[in-house]
Amino acid sequence: MRTTGDRIRHAISFEIIGLILVTPLGAWAFGVPMHDIGVIGIVGATIATLWNYVYNFGFDHLMQRMRGSTAKTVPLRVLHAIMFEAGLLLVLLPLFAWYLGISLWQALLMDVSFALFYMGYAYVFNWAYDRVFPLPEWQELEAA
């Protein structure tokens, strides 16, 4: 299982790279000033970073208990990303609507767009992260 330091590195690098990608893309896609997308991005990233740590810690413990390993199959990675984004969506929706002065429906469309982007991004990022920083238990499984 990952250490606390590894989880912190994972969460922070995920959010920094995500912000670098999503701020200009979001401003362009929604016609919202980059400053406003940046503000909701930073607040959202802060909330997401905390959620990322808690969620991944719980998910790994559940996997360890149910499967005896934290190694993820493709379907588990998809489920992992969908569940993460659904939890985050519930928290960020009212924030988007309030800060941008838009309806909950508009905020939902914007938030779903961000969630779809982040689901794909989370899948790619986590796959790459696991390749760059593999756990010893995974190397033992591959050798067997």
> pLDDT tens-digit profile of 47-85?
988 888 899 899 999 989 988 888 888 998 888 888 988
SS3 65: helix
Is 141's pLDDT higher than 70? no
In this prediction the pTM is: 0.68
- Judged against a pLDDT cut of 70, whether residue 133 lies above it is answered with yes
Name residue, tokens 């429906």: 105
Distance separating the N- and C-terminal Cα atoms of the chain: 19
Q: How far apart are CA 124 and CA 116, in angstroms?
A: 13
Cα distance between residue 13 and residue 3, in whole Å: 15
Cβ neighbors of 67 (< 8 A, separation 6 or more) are none
CB neighbours (10 Å) of residue 143? 6
